[in-house]
Every structure is written in structure tokens, then in C-alpha cells.
Amino acid sequence: MKSIFFPFFSFSFFCFLLFLLPVRGITQPGDEVKTDNKPAHPGQFSFGADLVSRYVWRGTDYGNSPAIQPNVSFSIAGFKISAWGSYGFVPYSRKINDSTTKTVGNFVESDFNISYTFKGFTLMVTDYFFPNPLCPNEDNRYFNYDNKTTGHTFEASLSYSGPERFPIQLFAGMHIYGADKGKDSTGVCGAGNKNNYSSYLEASYQFTIKGIGVKPFIGGIPYESSWYGRSAGIVNLGVTISKNIRVTQDFSIPVYTSIITNPQTQSVFFVFGLTL
């Protein structure tokens, strides 16, 4: 059965290309009321990269290595389409179960998402892709979207960012298709044939103390998931401290340090990162 997701993303990308057309090219004479010669809804491209000492996401370490994480995005009128990746500097091994450990090589991740933001609420669909030997997708075929063998995992999420006077951030996401499976006949979560619909919830609050950004956060899951943890509970708890280091009068580098704990795995991580 062919997946509906590849056509969906192709159509979404086509829609964004349409937004790139100059607004003046589709207006009638006399329609324009602006005098600044700018499109009514100008699009904006953005790109950059983070350098991190470890890649820790939702309480789990991916790659046990420093990593570079490039990103590029295009946004217009509340819509945004973006690409993000992570590339570990050194190979690593991954524990499959209590008796098996497998060498995976350098961790690589390539993600795409499309979102729409309105009045603080953001609806997003994300495509996660992990090309590595543990993936059930033979030969890491990127354009394989079969639900049983694909290396892609699609997540639908809704988030909310509060106003400046109350800058709370709330997030709820669920994997809805792809490489997120439930238990097999032996009870191993992630090895089954049916989708697990792994879900993740997070709350954070951003504030500033004397020019230093402080962001405590807490994240958890409502049931077992091969992505996050073996039972319902807290899997991501910590705080991020950030500031801008001025290099010149017109240029500064954002840097941050995160202290991250995962109560389920009894893990703690100290992560340093900078944004270019």
C-alpha cells in the first residue's frame, strides 16, 4: 500500500513554491494600497547550525558524541517548512536488549517538518529519519514510505507559546505513522508490527535574570514506548541556561548549557552548545 505522506509533503512543498511568486504579479490594477513596494506577505529564509557536546533529545542521548546540527527554513504568513539534521563526530554502539549491543557507526538524523502558527498555537507534522544499520528499512532507502519497513517516523504535534508576560511553552506530540512499533509476540516494545502511537508531553517556562536566559522544563510519556521509556512517567527533566557572547559590536554568538536528567533511565547529561 502506498503511503499518503509522500504526496502530502510534495503538495505542501508545491504550495510553498506558489507563495514565492511576487504578489504584484497576481493583483489587479488599483488593488495595491501599500506604498513601501513590499509584498503583502513577504517570505523569509533562515539557516544556521548548532554545535553541541552531546545530542540529547527528550531525555535520550543519540550518538554519545559531539554533533553538528544544520538547519534551513522558509516561512510565510504563519506557515513554515524546515529541514534539520544531526551528524555525530564519532561512531557509537547501541544496546538492543540486556544481552545484545550493536555497533551503529556515526549517528545521522535528517528531519523535515511543516507547521502553521496562529496566536501562539503551532500545528506541526514532522518527518524523522534515522539512516543507520538498526533501521528496519533495508539499505536506508529514503523514499521507502511503506509503514512496515520505512525508516521514517511521522509525528503530529500541537504546541503553545505564551505571551511575554507569561512565557510558558506547552507541547504535545504523537507518532502517527512509520518506524514506531509496539510489542512483538515476546513482549519486546518496538519490534512488533502494529503502530505504537508513542506520545510525548512537555512544559517549559522561559525567563531572564540579568541578561541570562533560564528555561526549566519537564517532559513525560503516558505509556511505554521504544522511543522514550518502558512505562508512563517523567523522561526529561532539567534546565537550560543561555546567553549571547558579543564578538563584535554587530555580531554575537548564542551559547547555552543544559542539565538534563531522565528519571526512568537514571541518567544525567551536561550539554554545551553554540549557535552559528
**CATH assignment of the domain containing 19:** 2.40.160.40
User: b vs e for 98-137, b when ≥16 Cβ sit within 10 Å of the residue's Cβ?
Assistant: eeeeeebeebbbbbbbbbebeeeebebbbbbbbbbeebeb
Instruction: Name the residue range of residue 113's domain.
Output: 5-26+42-275
Which residues are 204's β-sheet partners?
Answer: 169, 217
Closest CA to 135 of 162, 108, 165: 108
Predicted confidence band of residue 19 (pLDDT cuts 50, 70, 90): very low
In a domain, residue 36? The reply is: no
In whole angstroms, what is the distance from residue 6 CA to residue 9 CA? Answer: 5
Q: pLDDT value at position 186?
A: 81
In what helix (H) or strand (E) does residue 94 lie, and over which residues does it extend?
strand 79-97
pLDDT in tens, 229-240: 999 999 999 999
Mean model confidence pLDDT for the chain = 85
How is residue 181 annotated by DSSP? B
In a domain, residue 132? The reply is: yes
Answer whether residue 1 shows pLDDT above 70: no
In a domain, residue 214? The reply is: yes
Predicted confidence band of residue 188 (pLDDT cuts 50, 70, 90): confident
Question: How far from 251 is each of 68, 162, 247, 248, 273, CA to CA, in Å?
Answer: 21, 28, 6, 5, 17
Answer whether residue 6 shows pLDDT above 80: no
Q: pLDDT value at position 111?
A: 97
Answer whether residue 104 shows pLDDT above 80: no
Helices (H) and strands (E) in the chain, counts: 1, 15
In whole angstroms, what is the distance from residue 138 CA to residue 275 CA? Answer: 34
Stretch 197-225: mean pLDDT: 96
What percentage of the chain has pLDDT greater than the value 70? Answer: 81
Predicted confidence band of residue 40 (pLDDT cuts 50, 70, 90): low
End-to-end CA distance of the chain: 42
In a domain, residue 116? The reply is: yes
In a domain, residue 207? The reply is: yes
Predicted confidence band of residue 91 (pLDDT cuts 50, 70, 90): confident
Is the alpha carbon torsion for 120, 121, 127, 130 positive or negative?
positive
Q: pLDDT value at position 219?
A: 98
Domain count, the chain: 1
